[in-house]
Amino acid sequence: MLFSSITFLYYFLPLVLILYYAVPNKLKNTVLLIFSLVFYGWGEPKLLLLMALTILIGYISAVVMAKTDRKGLKKTVFIVSITVIFAFLAYFKYASFFVRNFAAITGISAPVLNIALPIGISFYTFQIISYVIDVYWGREKCENNLIDFAAYVSMFPQLIAGPIVRYSDISLQMKERKFSSENLYLGFRRFVYGLAKKVLIANAFGALCSDFRGADAKSVAFYWVYAIAFTLQIYFDFSAYSDMAIGLGKILGFDFIENFNYPYISKSITEFWRRWHMSLSSWFRDYVYIPLGGNRVSVARHIFNIAVVWMLTGFWHGAEWNFIIWGIYFAIFLMLEKYVFKNVMEKIPSVIRHIAVMTVIVISFVIFNANGLSGAVSDISAMLGLSGFPLWSSETAYFIRSYAVMLAVGVVGCLPVVKKTFVKAERFTVIRVLEPIVLVALLLVSTAYLVDGSYNPFLYFRF
Amino acid sequence: MIRKISLGIVLAVWLSLTVFCIIKPQDDFSSAERRQLSKFPEVSVNSVASGKFASEFESYTLDQFPMRDSFRTIKAVTEFDLLGKLDNNDIYIQDGQAAQLLYPLSENSVNNATDKITSIYETYIEGSDCNVAVVPIPDKGYYLAEKNGYPSLDYGRMFDILKENLTFATFCDITDTLDEDSYYPTDTHWKQENLLPTAQKIADIFGVSVYDGEVKTAKEDFYGVYYGQSALPLKADKINYITNDSIENLTAYNYETNETGGVYVSEKLDGRDAYDFFLFGASPLVEIKNPECTTGRELVIFRDSYTSSIAPLLVKDYSRVLLVDTRYMASAFIGQYIDFENQDVLFMYSTSLLNSSYVLK
d(Cα A145, Cα A150) in Å, to the nearest integer?
Answer: 9
pLDDT range class, residue A206, cuts 50, 70, 90: very high
Calculate mean pLDDT across residues B233-257: 91
Q: What is the CA radius of gyration of chain A?
A: 23
Q: Do A6 and B62 touch (CB under 8 A)?
A: yes
- Smallest Cα distance from B8 to chain A, Å: 9
- Smallest Cα distance from A405 to chain B, Å: 6
Q: Do B49 and A45 touch (CB under 8 A)?
A: yes
Cβ contacts below 8 Å, chain A against chain B, sum to 136
Q: Do A445 and B11 touch (CB under 8 A)?
A: no
**Three-state SS at A259:** coil
Contact criterion met (CB below 8 Å) for B230 and B91: yes
d(Cα A434, Cα A189) in Å, to the nearest integer?
Answer: 13
Q: Do B149 and A397 touch (CB under 8 A)?
A: yes
Calculate mean pLDDT across residues A411-438: 91
DSSP assignment of B202-265, as one string? HHHHHT------EEEEEEEEE--HHHHHH-S-PPPEEEEEEE-HHHHH-EEEETTTTEEE-SB-
pLDDT range class, residue A6, cuts 50, 70, 90: very high
Q: What is the chain B residue with the closest CA to A15?
A: B18
Q: What is the pLDDT of residues A83-118, one digit of tens each?
A: 999 999 999 888 888 888 888 888 888 777 778 888
Calculate mean pLDDT across residues B25-44: 89
Q: Give me the residue from A394, A433, A443 closest to B149, CB to CB.
A: A394
Q: Which positions in chain B touch A1 (Cβ < 8 Å)?
A: 54
Give the rounded distance of the alpha carbon of B117 from its chain centre: 20
- Smallest Cα distance from B75 to chain A, Å: 5
Q: What is the chain B residue with the closest CA to A251?
A: B7
Long-range contacts of A352-360 (CB under 8 A, 24+ apart): A353/A267, A353/A268, A354/A265, A354/A266, A354/A267, A357/A266, A357/A267, A357/A268, A357/A269, A357/A271, A357/A272, A358/A264, A360/A269, A360/A333
Q: What is the pLDDT of residues A255-314, one digit of tens each?
A: 999 999 999 999 999 999 999 999 999 999 999 999 999 988 999 999 999 999 999 999
Q: Do A436 and B6 touch (CB under 8 A)?
A: yes
pLDDT of residue A457: 54
Q: What is the CA radius of gyration of chain B?
A: 24
pLDDT range class, residue A455, cuts 50, 70, 90: very low
**Window from A2-6, A152-156, B106-110, B336-340 with minimum mean pLDDT:** B336-340
- Smallest Cα distance from B284 to chain A, Å: 32
Calculate mean pLDDT across residues B299-328: 93
Q: Do A402 and B76 touch (CB under 8 A)?
A: no
- Smallest Cα distance from B16 to chain A, Å: 9
Give the rounded distance of the alpha carbon of B278 from its chain centre: 12
Domain boundaries, given as residue ranges, for chain A = 6-179, 183-295+341-462
* Predicted confidence (pLDDT) at residue B102 exceeds the cutoff of 50: yes
**Distance from first CA to last CA of chain A, Å, rounded?**
16
**Three-state SS at A69:** coil
Q: Give me the residue from A181, A397, A429 closest to B7, CB to CB.
A: A181
* Predicted confidence (pLDDT) at residue B154 exceeds the cutoff of 80: yes
Residues in chain A: 463
* Predicted confidence (pLDDT) at residue A253 exceeds the cutoff of 50: yes
d(Cα B305, Cα B353) in Å, to the nearest integer?
Answer: 10
**Three-state SS at B187:** coil
The proportion of chain A whose per-residue pLDDT surpasses 70, expressed as a percent, equals 98
Q: Which positions in chain A touch B85 (Cβ < 8 Å)?
A: 402-403, 405-406
Q: Do A444 and B74 touch (CB under 8 A)?
A: yes
pLDDT of residue A463: 52
Q: Which of A277, A302, A317, A354 is catalytic?
A: A317
Which amino acid is located at B315 in the chain? V
d(Cα A315, Cα A280) in Å, to the nearest integer?
Answer: 13
Calculate mean pLDDT across residues B168-188: 94
d(Cα A413, Cα A196) in Å, to the nearest integer?
Answer: 12
d(Cα A215, Cα A211) in Å, to the nearest integer?
Answer: 6
Contact criterion met (CB below 8 Å) for A366 and A227: yes
Q: Do A406 and B83 touch (CB under 8 A)?
A: yes
Q: Do A14 and B18 touch (CB under 8 A)?
A: yes
A70 contact partners, CB below 8 Å, separation of at least 6 = none
- Smallest Cα distance from A421 to chain B, Å: 19
Q: Which positions in chain B touch A5 (Cβ < 8 Å)?
A: 58, 61
Q: Give me the residue from A44, A394, A405 closest to B83, CB to CB.
A: A405
Q: Which positions in chain B touch A449 (Cβ < 8 Å)?
A: 75, 78
Q: Do A185 and B17 touch (CB under 8 A)?
A: no
- The pair phi, psi for residue A418, each rounded to 5°, is -65, -50
Q: Which positions in chain B touch A215 (Cβ < 8 Å)?
A: 104, 151
pLDDT range class, residue A382, cuts 50, 70, 90: very high
CA geometry: angle A431, A435, A439, nearest 5 deg: 160
Mean pLDDT of chain A: 91
Q: Give me the residue from B9, B58, B105 closest to A7, CB to CB.
A: B58
pLDDT of residue A345: 84
Q: Which positions in chain B touch A392 (Cβ < 8 Å)?
A: none
Give the count of beta carbons closer than 10 Å to the beta carbon of residue A349. 9
The proportion of chain B whose per-residue pLDDT surpasses 90, expressed as a percent, equals 72
Q: Which positions in chain A touch B21 (Cβ < 8 Å)?
A: 6, 10-11
**Three-state SS at A453:** coil
The CA distances from residue A299 to A200, A313, A335, B192, in Å, are 46, 21, 10, 81
- Select from A1, A2, A5, A6 the residue whose CB has the most chain B CBs within 10 Å, as the one to mutate to test that interface: A6
Q: What is the pLDDT of residues A184-193, one digit of tens each?
A: 999 999 999 9
* A302 tagged catalytic: no
Residues in chain B: 361
Tell me if the pTM is above 0.95: no
- The pair phi, psi for residue A438, each rounded to 5°, is -65, -45
Q: Do A185 and B104 touch (CB under 8 A)?
A: no
